[in-house]
Amino acid sequence: MENKRHFLFDNDGKTCIVCGRPLPDDFEGDMCPPCKEHDLFQQVKEYIRSNDVNEFDVADKFELPLLKVKSWIREGRIEYKDTSTDGLRSHTMQSLHCQMCGKAITFGTLCPQCLKKQNSKGVGLTSPNQSDGSMHFLDSDN
């Protein structure tokens, strides 16, 4: 009986043209999914830089779900374009607001001021006289 190893991919088969990752022979395209996603994202970024567009235009142009574009914005991967000419900040994409104060933001979920406040709220230690360190019960007769 011959001891053969079965591999999912043949070493002499198809590989991703970007990273060299092996691909199944019946795989459509010449890039693996992570490289394809990265390439698409780079195209989207360049399109936003070159054009005055909003998230709807981007989703339509690249045939992406609108939620995908909005998630990239929330994650901070793409940012609303500043289109101001008079020194006042205005944005091509207008639907993103700070979750704490409601101020218009260009990416993420919090404006810089609220993010700073959120980050400064650390966990503090109480002084020994504020707590006796013993266990307390809410519904206790003692």
Distance in angstroms (rounded) separating the CA atoms of residues 91 and 12: 50
For residue 114, being part of any structural domain is answered with yes
Number of structural domains (the chain) is 1
Whether 27 is covered by a domain: the verdict is no
- Parent domain of 62: 51-120
**Tokens standing for 92?**
């091509």
User: What pLDDT, in 10s, does the model give residues 19-41?
Assistant: 999 999 889 999 999 999 999 99
Q: Coil, strand or helix: which one is 113?
A: helix
Residue 46, in any domain of the structure: no
* Total residue length of the chain: 142
Q: Does residue 6 lie within any of the structural domains?
A: no
The structure's pTM equals 0.56
DSSP 139: T
Q: Would residue 57 count as lying in a domain?
A: yes
Q: Which two tokens stand for residue 62?
A: 């690249």
* Span 43-89, pLDDT tens digits: 999 999 899 888 899 999 999 999 998 888 888 888 766 555 544 44
